[in-house]
Every structure is written in C-alpha cells, then in structure tokens.
Structure 1
Amino acid sequence: MRYEPAPLTRHLRVRQVRGHTVLEFRGEIDIAAAAEMAPHLDMATAEPDARVVIDLTRVEFFDCSGLRLLYRARHRTADGTGGLHLVCAHPLILRMLRITGLSRLLPPWPTLDAAMEAASEQPESASGPA
C-alpha cells in the first residue's frame, strides 16, 4: 500500500514526485477554493529553482479564479531556474486555456507521467506538446 498525504485543503493535495512539487487541484476551483489554495501555491513557487507541476486531472469545475492561480504560478516561476508544467485533459478547461492564451505560456500535458517525462527531458523553457 502506498502512503498518500492528506490534502492541505479539500481542493489541494501537495506531494513530491521525482524532484517536483505536484499541486493536485481537486473538485470545484472557484473564488473560495482559490483563496484557500493561493498561500500553498505561493509556498511551492517561492524558490527561484522551484520545480512544480500543477495537475488538474481531478478538477470538476474551473473558473477565472483557477486561471488566476495558473497565471500566478507561471509568473512566480517564469524567471527562475526551475520550471512549471501543467497536466490537463478536460476539454472545457483546455478550451479556456486556449481562449485566454494561457496554453501558449503553460502548455498542458495529458497525464502526470507525460508532464514529468517532459520536465526531465526538455529544458524548462522549452514548449509543451505539439
């Protein structure tokens, strides 16, 4: 049996995977959830060499508050030596990312394994999947 840490909030679980901090967003990501999650996101992205993956696989609802969290994480890691990767396969969230242009800044990967592989194989400034 594998130990999984308890969520920090009901909308966020943080764990370490292959040298990366994985922020797993869960459930409905709205303004209330974003307010709970922001301090944890800030902690994970505080260091200039932070290596972070945001996983949206378990998200059921995602509004502009969630987009703000992604932009915030991207901004906080953009100038560092670490990197930020995004996992998302939900069609409606992918559409929001495309419409807002965030998918160009933070290309989504379909699975955590794909994002982790990309993080280890590509320089952090390289673009995401084709």
Structure 2
Amino acid sequence: MTRHLRVRHDRGHTVLELRGEIDIAAAAEIVPHLDMATAEPGARIVIDLTHVEFFDLSGLRLLYRARQRIADGPGRLRLVCAHPLTLRMLRITGTSRLLPPWPTLDAALEHPEGASGPL
C-alpha cells in the first residue's frame, strides 16, 4: 500500500484501488505493485479509479502496462471508472475500447467471466 494505492483481494480478484492524483510521481509508486499483481499467471485484476481526483498520461500508461502484461496470458483485467473527465479522456484516447470501464466495483466483480464492460 502506498499513498496512491490500496491493494486488496475481493471475490477472486486482486483490486488495485488508485487514490488521489495519479501523475508521474504517483505512477512511480504504483508500478512495482502493478507489476507484482499482473505477474501471476491467470491473474484476475481490477483497477479501480473511483477515488481518483486527477488522472493524466501517467495514469493511462499504467492502464496500458497492466493490459499488456495481462493480454498475453489467461488472466483478466477490468477497469472501474465513473468520473466524467476521466471517462472522457479514456474515450478520446481509445482506451475505453481496449479496456471498457465498469461504473462500480460490484458491477466489475459480479459480471460473468467472458463479458466485457459497458461502453
């Protein structure tokens, strides 16, 4: 756990709950924890942006890093985001097509295995 990250397990998933301002300094704190969580074969990861107040390109890089590390194996990555400005950035950059955001953590955790998030 860091100032910008809380890691916990919920319903068979590792939840990386990002908090506060996710900028280059925060990303440097988060990367080692993200890499550890995504290193496990078949990792089921949820990145929760519910408590994020600011999210810049460094945050996008974290999402792409996690997706790339999970994409080559049997694991799964889900994203939780409902903040309008962050959602807008995800749409503009195309990230929401690669990693469709769920509106709540419960929705991301309760949905069937093969389903992707709402657009």
Q: Same fold (TM over 0.5)?
A: yes
Quick check: 1:99 aligned with 2:92?
Answer: yes
Unaligned stretches of 5+ residues in structure 2: none
CA contact (8 A) 1:48 1:79 kept: no
Of 32, 40, 55, which aligns to 1:47? 40
Quick check: 1:128 aligned with 2:117?
Answer: yes
Distance 1:46 1:9 in 2: 19
| Root-mean-square deviation (Å) | 0.9
Q: Residues 1-12 of structure 1: matches in 2 within 5 Å?
A: 8-12=1-5
Distance 2:64 2:10 in 1: 22
Equivalent residue, structure 1, for 2:22: 29
Distance 2:16 2:88 in 1: 21
Q: Structure 1-normalised TM-score?
A: 0.89
1:1-48 Cα shifts (integer Å, max 9, x gaps): xxxxxxx11000000001100000000000000001000000000022
Alignment length (residue pairs): 119
Report the residue type matching 1:129 in the other structure. P
Identity %: 81
Report the residue type matching 2:116 in the other structure. S
Runs of 4+ in 1 over 4 A off after TM superposition: none
Q: 1:122: Cα distance to partner?
A: 3.2
Unaligned stretches of 5+ residues in structure 1: 1-7
Q: Secondary structure at the match of 1:26?
A: strand
Distance 2:106 2:3 in 1: 24
Report the residue type matching 1:49 in the other structure. G
Quick check: 1:88 aligned with 2:77?
Answer: no
| Higher Cα Rg, which structure | 1
1:102-123 Cα shifts (integer Å, max 9, x gaps): 10010000000000012xx131
Q: Structure 2-normalised TM-score?
A: 0.97
